[in-house]
Structure 1
Amino acid sequence: MPHRNLVSWTAMVSGYMRNGAPELGLGMFVSMVRSGLCPNEFPLASSPGACQSMAHAKLGHSLHCLAAKVGLDGNPYVGCSLLMSKGNCHGYLCAYGFFSNLSVKNVVTWNEMIAGYGLHCYSEDVVRLFHSLLCFGERPDEFTYSAVLSAFQQAHDTSDCSENPDEFILASILNACANSALIRQCRCIHSVVFRTEHSRHFCVASALVDASAKCGDIYAAESAFTAVSSQANNAIMYNTMLTAYANHGLIEEALSLYQEMAKLQLAPTPATFVAVISACNHLGLVEQGKLLFSSMLFEEGMNPRRANYACLIDHLAWKEHILRMMPSSDGAYVSLSNVYAEDGEWQSAEDTRRRMVEYQVQKVQGYSSVEI
């Protein structure tokens, strides 16, 4: 290639790095700099991560100096790569000094630091870093939770940590287990919760019930719920367990738990009715679902939320009751068609739209208004 620009050099550097040839990638990067080109954040973010041992420590330091010279040492992605280099060459306790001085930290740099500490079994520091991340207002992502869980697994448990994770950390990790259906990790955190007596906190207890249920272990969810509800009754806990029963198709248990709430005089919330009406939907108990919705309106005096209306529409659509109730309403047909579409029943969705044409039901055009 007679004329090489920054893009072509960057493509070669990145290509070598991604295909398991870091030595060639570093060599290409050095050649690029010697040719007189000033690197941008892309090759600089790729190169330091290739410095994997003390043999590359000097080169890693040179890359850090170059990044500072061109004003990119504050870039979070370049910083993350430099952090990885320092951690691999000098250890993550040394890398923490560099991490502390980073002018811009994002979730990527936090994840790298947490993962590095976890890899070297610094479980206590993992907990502190995760807590600091939350205090700084950074939002953890799935890689953060994975790094924290891996750290606990690497250390087998948290028994050798002088500082136990608090209720906020445990609730966050349990939510990650629930979203990823990590049953093994969920059981590990379950044992930590009861050993540290954090089960008394409703945010942890409800997260534990939710995570166990979403991981498929409804018996563990029941066990956690029973342990907490025996100490104090709380509508949030009952709502979580109601939702778990409904999602597992345990309709009789859900309705029984709802009746138990009434006996204990626990005030239901809109979330309570979403769970119970969903349970009725599974059994096709259309009339009972309608009665529950009426109860929410007239007996409890609640203003239904969007989730309540969506649940009712889904419930009535189970046997197309919504069309019999509102045969000339364009909203009824559109809502039913959308329910079918979300479930992947495209033929039913198309049939519903076709019936609108047959019955000459016109869809009212929506509009927006702006005050001038």
Structure 2
Amino acid sequence: METKVFKPSEVQAAAQLIDEGQLVAFPTETVYGLGADATNVKAVKQVYVAKGRPSDNPLIVHVADQATVERFAQPLSTAAKQLIKAFWPGPLTMIFQLKPGALAPEVTGGLTTAAFRNPDNAATLALIRAAQTPIVGPSANTSGKPSPTTAQHVLHDLDGKIAGILDDGATKVGVESTVLDLSTNQPAILRPGAITASAIEAVIGQPVMTEQHHVGATEVPKAPGMKYKHYAPAAQVYIVDQKTDWPAALKWAANQSVPIGVMATNDVLTANALPANCEQFSLGTGIQSATRELFAGLRHFDTETEIKDILCQAFDNKGLGAAYMNRLNKSAGQTHFSV
């Protein structure tokens, strides 16, 4: 099929495709999502087909308001309402217990819970309102590959497989939303993102569990990114842990007979002489820009087929760095550079 690219001013045309049961990728402040009517089982099944996504990997439901969540979920707790007021629209996804039969198993992975998010993007909120339905929205990429942060990334993976893309330029955050499980007694972050545990605790006045990012091989994950390989380019990624490790890493790179990709901040790139066989991709000036550029850099080197290895800078695993390192560790398969 032809994949049409829509401007934000063409939201009505994109919404018409959603209403027809077709797939339309949409922008958020985090990454681009692959949209389908969350109440249309046939359309939802096509999301899994287009992405090559495992069927037990649940989908996040994108909504335009709190009232839509209340149509499907059990009564919201005080904490949930506080978090909605504080962070929606924004990069916080929350998991709630559902009313019986409220959403199809294809959306929930067969669970009695579902994840909901109100994205901070005017074009996508207009799309949801125009379609008059909540929209599922996993990242709009081939399953396992780096998430898309531009419409061009979506086209690279899904051109001809989906009906349309709503193009609103590059995303602002660059990694997926924080996923917070509110279906259990103690809130737990299942996927770190731009909304940190400390920010959530400050709103709800209770501790949040933060070490819940993985599930076993036979378990059904409550949120995306907990079970399967994610964010991985074709090349092997090596995490360079400290700025002092870069001379050794670049010495190793210089001794390789093939080109090596290097992803680091400007200070690292200017402080170290890159060997002639290294191609650099700047992660900017710090953790915010690095988080925004991480997937773009991985995708950049995915198009450079001669590059089989990528050296990528680590950051402290705290605050936004927890989200960055979560994605980098998954893309590298936990592989760190060592002499």
Q: Same fold (TM over 0.5)?
A: no
Q: Whose radius of gyration is greater, 1 or 2? A: 1
Q: TM-score, normalised by structure 1?
A: 0.27
- The structure showing larger relative contact order (alpha-carbon pairs under 8 Å, at least 6 residues apart) is 2
